[in-house]
Amino acid sequence: MPTGIRLHRIQDRVRQELSQMLIRETNDPRLKNIFVNDVKIDKELAFAHIFVSAVEGASRSAEILEGLESASGFFRRALAARVELRAFPRLKFHWDPTPENADHIEKVLAGLREKK
């Protein structure tokens, strides 16, 4: 089991490499304009939970997650070649609603400021 610092470094490296792959190496139109917000890898290095969002918001979430799941084998092989680990974790993709929530909170606060 890796230490906390090493696990954090692995998570950051996976996030960076996957972000670059999404920009440069994918041709699937379902995977355009998406962002990797966070990567959480369990201590046993069995699973990498990848949290993504899109510019358009949650309207395309099902389509994006379907595209990511269909390309997960490609991503896992490419990441295993770039991030040196004895055994690379399986990828699980999740929709991250944080950007939409932050936008909603910002609109609420702006409305409150206008009322003053």
More confident residue, 113 or 77: 77
pLDDT score at 58: 83
Is the pTM here over 0.75, yes or no? yes
Residues in the chain: 116
- Rounded to whole angstroms, how far apart are CA atoms 105 and 94? 22
Phi/psi of residue 54, each to 5°? -135, 160
Q: What is the DSSP letter of 45?
A: S
Residue 5, pLDDT > 80, answer: yes
**The pLDDT of residue 36:** 95
| Rounded-to-integer distance, Cα 81 and Cα 75, Å | 10
Question: pLDDT value at position 67?
Answer: 94
Using pLDDT thresholds of 50, 70 and 90, give the confidence band for residue 19.
very high
